[in-house]
Structure 1
């Protein structure tokens, strides 16, 4: 049936088009008349629609809680559905693909959907929630912060469960931390914690402890950070269901990095080892190697460097590996050899704007060039460290 024929006597054609595109919600009387003209009973169609919405919401909740999907739930995401539910289904499917790290497919779906007009409806919160998770997973931290600043996106979650609001705020805090806006990150993590009070979801509670800890540590509030990490340890001990090797490794890695930031290398080494014992992770291994190199434990550092390791999962892993190798063998290397190794690595780290890594390595490199009486290079790295430190201070 043509749109004009369906709408005549009930509503305008343009209004019908807006209904079909989920831009407006008509009254039940209008829906009943439209379905009657199509030869269908509105109540039956609405019941089937409501059941499908509930099923899709259950799948989304499982994804948010990081639970596995069964075959029926997976089929729900790929089976052809009504036009009214297609966008909702595709958004949730993109969320699933992102979790499975199938980023190309997820991106294609999100591009096809496009950003809808933001209103206080379920599609808006789903779109914001899914795209934020996708951007967080792919490192597009600035995009998350821009959307939150320009759209004040958190306000659209006012009609959702407080848990879903807390997750969004946690993601914004995560993005702000990774974008070195630590004060902003602190504001959002506190909002997330306030909304999540008395909700029994221990895995998310663990994430809140860890995120607050890393934000506090980034602001040099190390004792307060350790309080959060220890709360995470106690939670893992109390709830065996979430106490996986990966979660233990994560909390130990955070504790180790907190000690490393304070140049307490003995404690840092201890917790990096505990982290690696729980989960063999290349990121933690590089952190541990860096701690050994900076603490002057050459023997252990060389032993670790010679061990087989997993493939690097991030570009900065390769740069750090090369840079740490140069630092480890600096005493026996010529100045030209050392410079040929460190310069490409540091240029890459600077280009990627890994500010915490710059602050780790630049002063050390300045000291080495000072020993060689290469004062121009020494000054360059001290200036780089100062500039980076000031950038972080201004953000905070």
Structure 2
């Protein structure tokens, strides 16, 4: 019933009626202000009188608002369950905007979720930014859904720190867990875990992913639990908890049998590539190569660039430059087939330079400075550590110990960023 206050306020403003004129002979101006801001619930007679003065039918608005709310909630639930076409959106939109108030606001929030799931990011962004002007952190169902959709939007556009901030605005509200179903809370925690992982806050990501996994396991949401296991494995890997990382990925392997075959290749790629990362971090390059080669099998040619880079790096670190060049040529062919990120371009440039013959010290210095500065600029601490180590060993082989030590210092500082980052969100 609190939504009625918002409807009153919107309709009063729409009709350009002052508060004192609307409430004259019904209640005080201060009491109307409290009603409009949903700080109190008036008795039904006061609502009737106020709506009547606005020329509105209280019973019709109340009934329509109640029915529409259930319909919008069902649509939102369907979207969370990845069901795209269960609602007549144009009809629902017209009804929601007729009802106005919290009902129309809820429609817009859920509609944004629909747009995001259909990759209509620009339209969703416009609506979300307009909604931001009217929302303040509050213990309400609409703010709960809005926060969830906003987190999802920021993840899709790569704004991982903004996603974390949007999520934290909700978690600071005491009792926010009571505003959504367990399944919704699981998705919320998963998304916060994913955004923390992408931003390099691995301890924080572990915490959220474990919360989400607990919810999804209890509710038998196997596909969602699978996603959480992948996050846990990646986090443990980057935190050098390799036994825990391998355990998470092995558990993911066993879980895969309960999922439809159409998703198996995607998960097999993630499991194989991450197990390769795990063994590479441990210096077990033969094992790492085995898993990276497996990962390649599950990808189309234009999408193979990440495991190809991993293979090049492994063979380079093993001293097998012939194999490294072979996979570099394959990566260069792959670049021509599809879109490649700047981070991937930088890594290809590193090995295109280092695998040249002859190779000058000036060329090493140039690619080292360019690449490490880039990784630092995007706060990619993992690649900073990985390539600082690679270049430091190369400098050591040429008796350039001062330059090697400088890179080891940068790698140490990046590692400290990872450790402290988990506590800073």
- Of 185, 203, 222, the residue aligned with 1:183 is 203
| 1:314 matched residue in structure 2 | 341
Cα RMSD, aligned residues only: 3.1
| 1:287 matched residue in structure 2 | 310
Quote the Cα distance in structure 2 between the aligned partners of 1:96 and 1:285: 35
Quote the Cα distance in structure 1 between the aligned partners of 2:95 and 2:359: 62
Using the TM superposition, give the Cα deviation of residue 370 of structure 1 relative to its aligned residue in structure 2, in angstroms. 2.5
| 2:213 matched residue in structure 1 | 193
Change (3 A) 1:339 1:161: same
Using the TM superposition, give the Cα deviation of residue 361 of structure 1 relative to its aligned residue in structure 2, in angstroms. 0.7
Quote the Cα distance in structure 1 between the aligned partners of 2:315 and 2:44: 69
| 1:157 matched residue in structure 2 | 177
Which stretch has the larger CA shift, 58-67 or 229-238?
A: 58-67
- Of 222, 225, 235, the residue aligned with 2:242 is 222
Using the TM superposition, give the Cα deviation of residue 355 of structure 1 relative to its aligned residue in structure 2, in angstroms. 0.5
Which stretch has the larger CA shift, 42-51 or 126-135?
A: 42-51
Quote the Cα distance in structure 2 between the aligned partners of 1:69 and 1:334: 60
Q: Deviations over 1:53-109 (max 9, x none)?
A: 223223322332333335724774688723212322222222233334443333322
Would you say the 8 A contact 1:166–1:191 is kept in 2? yes
Change (3 A) 1:100 1:290: farther
- Of 351, 362, 366, the residue aligned with 2:377 is 351
Would you say the 8 A contact 2:269–2:298 is kept in 1? yes
| 2:161 matched residue in structure 1 | 142
Would you say the 8 A contact 2:311–2:324 is kept in 1? no
Quote the Cα distance in structure 2 between the aligned partners of 1:311 and 1:23: 55
Using the TM superposition, give the Cα deviation of residue 378 of structure 1 relative to its aligned residue in structure 2, in angstroms. 2.2
Structure 1 spans left out of the alignment, 5+ residues: none
Q: Does 1:95 align with 2:113?
A: yes
| 1:323 matched residue in structure 2 | 350
Using the TM superposition, give the Cα deviation of residue 166 of structure 1 relative to its aligned residue in structure 2, in angstroms. 1.9
- Of 78, 86, 96, the residue aligned with 2:104 is 86
Quote the Cα distance in structure 2 between the aligned partners of 1:79 and 1:264: 62
1:238 alignment partner, SS class: coil
Would you say the 8 A contact 1:209–1:231 is kept in 2? yes
Using the TM superposition, give the Cα deviation of residue 125 of structure 1 relative to its aligned residue in structure 2, in angstroms. 0.3
Using the TM superposition, give the Cα deviation of residue 365 of structure 1 relative to its aligned residue in structure 2, in angstroms. 0.5
Using the TM superposition, give the Cα deviation of residue 316 of structure 1 relative to its aligned residue in structure 2, in angstroms. 1.4
Which stretch has the larger CA shift, 89-98 or 28-37?
A: 28-37
Would you say the 8 A contact 1:169–1:188 is kept in 2? yes
Q: Deviations over 1:194-246 (max 9, x none)?
A: 33342122221111111122222222222222222222222222221662533
Structure 2 spans left out of the alignment, 5+ residues: 1-14
Using the TM superposition, give the Cα deviation of residue 112 of structure 1 relative to its aligned residue in structure 2, in angstroms. 1.1
Change (3 A) 1:73 1:212: farther
1:362 alignment partner, SS class: helix
Quote the Cα distance in structure 2 between the aligned partners of 1:243 and 1:169: 23
Change (3 A) 1:371 1:292: closer
Q: TM-score, normalised by structure 2?
A: 0.80
- Of 122, 130, 140, the residue aligned with 1:104 is 122
| Aligned positions, number | 395
Q: Which has the higher contact order (CA 8 A, sep 6+)?
A: 2
Using the TM superposition, give the Cα deviation of residue 285 of structure 1 relative to its aligned residue in structure 2, in angstroms. 3.8
Q: Deviations over 1:225-282 (max 9, x none)?
A: 2222222222222221662533332333322222222222333233333333223334
Would you say the 8 A contact 1:20–1:83 is kept in 2? no
Quote the Cα distance in structure 2 between the aligned partners of 1:165 and 1:245: 28
Quote the Cα distance in structure 2 between the aligned partners of 1:38 and 1:193: 50
| 1:56 matched residue in structure 2 | 72
Q: How does 1:59-70 map to 2 (within 5 A)?
A: 59-69=75-85
Quote the Cα distance in structure 1 between the aligned partners of 2:324 and 2:94: 54
Which stretch has the larger CA shift, 78-87 or 127-136?
A: 78-87
Using the TM superposition, give the Cα deviation of residue 34 of structure 1 relative to its aligned residue in structure 2, in angstroms. 4.2
1:307 alignment partner, SS class: helix
Q: TM-score, normalised by structure 1?
A: 0.85
